[in-house]
Structure 1
Amino acid sequence: MLPIVKQKCVEIRQEIHWTEKRIIESSFHIILDKKQLLIKDEKIPISKILDISYRIDQKQSSIGYLYLHTIHGVRTFHIREDPTYFIEIFKKIRSETEQYG
């Protein structure tokens, strides 16, 4: 699988201990190739994805949301970077897939 484009996502986890609460952030990439999206160890075929959209606040340090609309429902991912390019490439691949079968 040769990645065409990838989008960095953020995972936010809270750990609560006796005297403190910690917020732990880690990151991963959603990788797009010509046939599928790879999210960690999960593969989602392009044919199962209806759309990708996002909402992000213009504040520099804020968390945004990437919405993956699939035939099984909507999945939400936290993002800090603008996913416009990622979405444009997805839509181009999706239209080519529909056009050529």
Structure 2
Amino acid sequence: MNKERTVLMICSHPVYWKERKIENNRQVYIEHEAVLELFEDRVQAPDEQFTIDQIHDVSYRGLSETYGFFYLHTIKGVRTFIVKETPLHWIEAFRTCR
């Protein structure tokens, strides 16, 4: 009998990025939203996935009242995400599951 283990998502946090387009001779910025998900065994980013062992640390730096930077320090380098709310709950959950 094949028993697959269900991996639970512990928490998630919205992340944003901006796309610059030229429309009608005007520069326009389009904001996109995705979710950074923390599972028991991995972190699922919008464009890539890391196992928990591939992440050395996570950190946050507030930039303004509106935006901040959320950093994943991985074996592949530092991945930076723009956030609008402090990800401290996500960071605490990550450090607990390590």
Q: Could you report, residue by residue, the CA deviation over 1:42-87 in whole angstroms, capped at 9, with x for unpaired residues? A: 220000000000111352xx22111110112101011101100000
TM-score (ref. length: structure 2): 0.86
CA contact (8 A) 2:37 2:44 kept: yes
CA RMSD of aligned residues (A): 1.4
More helix by share: 1
The equivalent of 2:4 in structure 1 is none
Over 6 Å off, 4+ runs: none
Structure 1: gaps spanning 5 or more residues:
95-101
User: Which residue of the other structure, out of 15, 35, 41, is the alignment partner of 1:29?
Assistant: 35
2:80 pairs with 1:80: no
Partners of 1:3 and 1:41 in 2: CA distance: 18
Q: SS where residue 9 of structure 2 aligns?
A: coil
Partners of 1:77 and 1:50 in 2: CA distance: 16
Letter in 2 for 1:93: C
Q: Residues 1-101 of structure 1 correspond to what in structure 2 (within 5 A)? A: 1-40=7-46, 42-59=48-65, 62-94=66-98
TM-score (ref. length: structure 1): 0.84
- Greater mean deviation of Cα atoms: 9-18 or 80-89: 9-18
Counting aligned pairs with the same residue, the percent is 34
Q: SS where residue 87 of structure 1 aligns?
A: helix
Q: How many residues get paired?
A: 92
The equivalent of 1:97 in structure 2 is none
More strand by share: 2
Q: SS where residue 21 of structure 1 aligns?
A: strand
Structure 2: gaps spanning 5 or more residues:
1-6
